[in-house]
Amino acid sequence: MEKTGFIGLGIMGKPMAKNLLKAGYKLVVYDINEDATAELVNEGAKAGKSSADVASQCEVIITMLPNSPDVKLAVLGKDGVIDGVKTGSVLIDMSSIAPLASREISEKLLQKGAIMLDAPVSGGEPKAVEGTLAIMVGGPEATFNKVKGILEVMGASVKLVGDIGSGNTTKLANQIIVALNIAAIGEAMVLATKAGVDPEKVYQAIRGGLAGSTALDAKMPLILDGNFKPGFRIELHIKDLMNALETASKLEVPSLLTSEVLRIMKSLQSEGKGKDDHGGLIQYYENEARVKVRRKLS
């Protein structure tokens, strides 16, 4: 099996890389956090000296980084992927970045004879650990088919949605829906609690109807326990919504609800809650209504 590169071993990248190791892939890994790299080396990976070094050793390189500037630095910057990449190699960027940034990076790689796919994910840390992420991919179909087996190790749903940049456009749509869904959960459950109705019973009553959702089932049990340990941090969702609003502005698309939820998230970030899970968005409503949505102890 050819070596695969993996750059970016954070809260998402680390479990994704571990799943590739478990599936038998030979990984060359790199992260600016040397402890994260060492942890993967202890599990069988080889450490790369830089992003360029990883690219020089691998036909397929995966990046999983926080935002557009980070991906540009890792790919196009000094000692970046572009300095080591070989003709015919494939870069799979699984970060959630602006679609225009994906297209810009892709064009630069094409000049080196390398092809890029943008393949952002949804599901947060729990599904990254399970290997059951939803992966939405943009790029050439032939390249997608070539690397689909790698992606299927990390995701339960792997879909090609269009040309380069389409993956991140799909991710922006996903993040808008998730953010608004979580905000609706917070608003509704604070209303129910303030009205004196047990929020856990409300949740059980509505989850099988039209108000039911994956977000409701994933976040409500954690909310009831007051558990806002990050699976996907508020500060990262802020980044995604800012990318969504930037894209919407360029396309002249109204985004009133997205703007309001972004305002709420930024308010929580200013209170030091930016590293909380995005399910912690309910804390804004709790603070305003002076009530906590929590499980009743028997």
Q: What is the model's pLDDT at position 1? A: 59
Q: Which residues are catalytic?
A: 171
DSSP string, the chain: --EEEEE--STTHHHHHHHHHHTT-EEEEE-S-HHHHHHHHHTT-EE-SSHHHHHHH-SEEEE--SSHHHHHHHHHSTT-HHHH--TT-EEEE-S---HHHHHHHHHHHHTTT-EEEE--EESHHHHHHHT-EEEEEES-HHHHHHHHHHHHHHEEEEEEEESTTHHHHHHHHHHHHHHHHHHHHHHHHHHHHHTT--HHHHHHHHTTSTT--HHHHHHHHHHHTT----SSBHHHHHHHHHHHHHHHHHHT---HHHHHHHHHHHHHHHTT-TTSBGGGGHHHHHHHHT----PPP-
Residue 102: the pLDDT is: 96
Task: Give residue 109's pLDDT.
Answer: 98
Q: pTM for the whole thing?
A: 0.89
pLDDT of residue 244: 95
Structural domains in the chain, CATH included, are 3-164 (3.40.50.720), 169-289 (1.10.1040.10)
- pLDDT truncated to tens, each residue of the chain (298 aa)? 579 999 999 989 999 999 999 999 999 999 999 999 999 999 999 999 999 999 999 999 999 999 999 999 999 999 999 999 999 999 999 999 999 999 999 999 999 999 999 999 998 888 999 999 999 999 999 999 999 999 999 999 999 999 999 999 999 999 999 999 999 999 999 999 999 999 999 999 999 999 999 999 999 999 999 999 988 899 999 999 999 999 999 999 999 999 999 999 999 999 999 999 999 999 999 999 999 999 987 6
Q: Looking at residue 126, what is its pLDDT?
A: 87
